[in-house]
Amino acid sequence: MQINGSKIISISCESTIDEAIFFMARNNIRRIVIYCNNKIYGIFTVDEALRNLLFKSEARLRDVELKKAVKIPSTDIIHIVKSMVENNVDSVIYDDKIITEKDVVFSYHFPKEVDVNNIAKDALNIPPYTNLISAIEIMVKNHIRHLPVIEKEPIGMLSARDIIYYYAQKYTVDVPVMEVMNPHLICVDENYSMSEAVKVMKEYNIGSLCVNKNKIVTLKDFIRYIFTTFQIK
């Protein structure tokens, strides 16, 4: 099975972190390929953006730690997933294209007989009055991009992308989470199949799904499932 990616969107390593964040928001993306001297230097994602927001860094991209740019020789799904898992990255580069976890998960045919609850994890969550800076600290510390917002019942989802886009508009993260979260929380029952769950994610174009109100499943969980299923070594 071959996976199609999308054209690489890039900026220079001489750009500042804020410039990269504004570029992300303008282009509605969550990762940028960084070039230095006409060569790929690394990949700047929402993860790096969050980490640097905490320290209010004004550094240029050449001076910050970026994600590794992993190049692959083919677009075969097995090769892609193996490269993602072994290098702990959420995208790979083939020729002049970038292939993401979403590209893989939304193209793969998941089983209808396996419940999504099998790969869902207990979710860390936060109340709506949590300061956004505290939420960023939780995300960075736990290496996650999504936090369900709970007030007795789930009332929203806060994503790393929500934070970055908000910062690009308001130039602050000193606000309560409820001002930034997406109030349209998408949840499925624990008995949903993996196939049905991915169908919902595709319909809403989201990277995570609330499962049975207290669990969460992300694109990375589906990638790991593919990796395990094919026993890639």
The answer to which of 17-31, 55-69, 95-109 has the lowest mean pLDDT is: 55-69
Q: Whole domain around residue 75: which residue ranges? A: 6-107
Q: How many structural domains are present in the chain?
A: 2
225 and 159 part of one domain: yes
- d(Cα 23, Cα 29) in Å, to the nearest integer? 8
Average pLDDT over residues 50-75: 92
Average pLDDT over residues 75-90: 95
Q: Is the pLDDT of residue 233 over 60?
A: no
Average pLDDT over residues 212-233: 87
CB hemisphere CA count around 41 (13 angstroms) = 20
**What's this model's pTM, rounded to 2 decimal places?**
0.91
- d(Cα 124, Cα 64) in Å, to the nearest integer? 28
96 and 137 part of one domain: no
Whether residue 13 contacts residue 35, with contact meaning beta carbons closer than 8 Å, is answered with yes
Average pLDDT of every residue of the chain = 94
Average pLDDT over residues 56-85: 93
Q: Is the pLDDT of residue 124 over 70?
A: yes
| pLDDT for 74 | 94
Average pLDDT over residues 73-93: 95
Task: Place 231 in a pLDDT band, splitting at 50, 70 and 90.
Answer: low
CATH number of the domain at 89, please: 3.10.580.10
